[in-house]
Structures are given as C-alpha cells and as structure tokens.
Amino acid sequence: MFEYYTNKQWIFKNEEVDVLRNMMNARERKDFQIDGNDLDIYQYLIDAVHAARLYILKELPETLPAARRHIKV
C-alpha cells in the first residue's frame, strides 16, 4: 500500500519557509520552532509508522506483536 510513497524520490521546495525564517525574531523562532533543529528524527519515524498503521491501515496497536513476528519470517 505504501510502496509508491516509500520507493519514490520526493523533492519538496521550501523557499517560502526560508523567507519566513529570515523574517522571524528570536521570540517567534522559540515559540513556533519551524526549523526542526530539536526534532528527534528516529522517534518521529516511529510515531509516523504507528500513526500510519492506526489511521490509514486501521490496524490496532494490539496487532503489532503479530506483525513483528510476521515480518521476521
């Protein structure tokens, strides 16, 4: 189901975000944190996979151990 999205290279342009970052003062940078410097990418990806299983695939968290066993086989 996710093959198209996971195997395709995506290019996102963010020139507008760069302009916005340059316009923000120190307080706004602290309040809105749009740069992602403090982002824990590993935890973000774990959360994204869990959310995809729950909200897109409609798989309950209780099915995770069985899915892990299945993937090992």
How many domains are there within the chain? 1
Statement: residue 14 has pLDDT above 80: yes
pTM for this model (two decimals): 0.54
**The predicted structure's pLDDT at residue 45:** 93
Domain of 61, in residue numbers: 3-72
3-state helix, strand, coil in the chain (%, to 5): 65, 0, 35
pLDDT tens, position by position, 35-70: 777 889 999 999 998 998 889 889 888 888 888 888
Nearest-5° Cα angle at 38, 60 to 64: 15
Mean pLDDT of the chain: 87
